[in-house]
Amino acid sequence: MTDGTYVGPRTVEPFPNDVVSSQEQALGLWDAIDDYVAGIDQPLTRVFLLGAGGSLLAMAPAQYILDRLAKVPTVSMNSDEFYYRAPASVGPGALVIALSGTGNTKETVRAAEWATAHGASVAAVTLKADGPLAQSQKTAFVAESGHGSQIALQLVALAILKREGVDISGKLSALRKLPAALLHALENFEDRAAEIAASMKEVPMTYVIASGPLEGAADTFTSCYLQEMQWKHAATVNADEFFQGPFEVFDKDTKSLVYLGEDETRPMGERVRRFLDEYSGETYYIDSKEFDLPGVESEQRPYVMPLVFHGLGARLAAHWSAVTGYSLEGRRYMWQFDY
């Protein structure tokens, strides 16, 4: 396996006790976020969503809804890539949203400072009001957890859409119903998560296949939870890119995991399902249609599901850790020395 932080197989860690409260706290940021975006005093010409690692991957749901509905072009970019690439469009009219949970990611702090110096409107999203990122910017929206920062990012996207005249009332209502609905979905996922983790804990290479707004959650699971925290070989494959090479390594001995949403890209995942059911080994499908979200209107399910899948990934990781015996806190290199 690995030589990571071994604590032995054990009972899975319980849910964090702030799943609901941290999302409700983030929903309370709506007025401040709406006022900030509405108050930008020049036409928006481009939106940049900046982060590194899990913070960059967390941008996928906001990126997707802005791609779908906003006229202003939006791009998600690694913070250092942004800084060194130095896009010529960064200036008055550009809106930069920089995310760092701890606020300590030096690449993100530097990128946000560079954008501010070049005249862009810059806002931080973070969990630490006293962290370097929040302290480096005039405007910071502070959430209490990763569940909360996901809400905050969606509120930023909705504020941009509102500024453009889009009716956001349905989506805003769905977000307000999400805290209790998410907890309900997580509770009903526990047995399934335990089954998947027990079956796949020793898979030599874990593939997760996803499309559209679920790619961020899939990437978070493979990159952050399995590679970073479990030191396991893993990769996320886009459902169409799967047929551009990766499917050649799949056979009847291959186990994999597929995320299926209810958004416009679902046909991509269904195509993968048809192939895997015929040619691959055991495949676990996490299908959003199987989850009940009390209070969320049916037409808004595709919108909130990416946030649900981020929560599901965290529970999968907790169950993986329980059956492998390796703590999610162990790191070989990260934070251990300068690199």
Per residue in 297-330, pLDDT (tens digit) is 999 999 999 999 999 999 999 999 999 999 999 8
Instruction: Tell me the two tokens of residue 198.
Output: 């027990």
User: What is the mean pLDDT of the segment spanning 204-210?
Assistant: 98
Model pLDDT for residues 166-178, shown as the tens digit of each residue: 999 999 999 999 9
Helix axes 301-324, 169-200, angle to 10 degrees: 30
β-bridge mates for residue 125, sequence order: 99, 141
Supply the pLDDT for residue 318: 98
CATH fold of 19-166 reads Rossmann fold (3.40.50)
As a whole number of angstroms, the distance between CA 133 and CA 19 comes to 24
User: What is the mean pLDDT of the segment spanning 63-69?
Assistant: 98
pLDDT at 288 over 60: yes
As a whole number of angstroms, the distance between CA 224 and CA 231 comes to 10
State the span(s) of the chain assigned CATH 3.40.50.10490.
19-166, 187-324
As a whole number of angstroms, the distance between CA 123 and CA 117 comes to 13
- Architecture of the domain delimited by 187-324: 3-Layer(aba) Sandwich (3.40)
Supply the pLDDT for residue 4: 61
CB contact at 8 A, 101 and 54: yes
User: What is the mean pLDDT of the segment spanning 290-296?
Assistant: 98
User: What is the mean pLDDT of the segment spanning 77-98?
Assistant: 98
pTM for the model = 0.96
Instruction: Tell me the two tokens of residue 221.
Output: 């699971």
Mean pLDDT of the chain: 97
As a whole number of angstroms, the distance between CA 308 and CA 169 comes to 20
pLDDT band, very low/low/confident/very high, at 61 (cuts 50, 70, 90): very high
DSSP class of residue 221 equals: I
User: What is the mean pLDDT of the segment spanning 2-30?
Assistant: 90
CB contact at 8 A, 194 and 12: yes
pLDDT band, very low/low/confident/very high, at 1 (cuts 50, 70, 90): very low
Higher pLDDT, 2 or 51: 51
CA distances from 293 to 175, 195, 250, 264 (A): 11, 22, 34, 19
Supply the pLDDT for residue 5: 83
Secondary element (H or E) of residue 233: none
pLDDT at 72 over 70: yes
Helices of type H across the chain: 19-27, 30-38, 54-57, 60-69, 79-85, 106-117, 132-136, 146-163, 169-200, 215-219, 230, 266-279, 301-324
Instruction: Tell me the two tokens of residue 78.
Output: 């690694």
Main-chain dihedrals φ then ψ at residue 238, nearest 5 degrees: -60, 140
pLDDT at 2 over 60: no
pLDDT band, very low/low/confident/very high, at 198 (cuts 50, 70, 90): very high
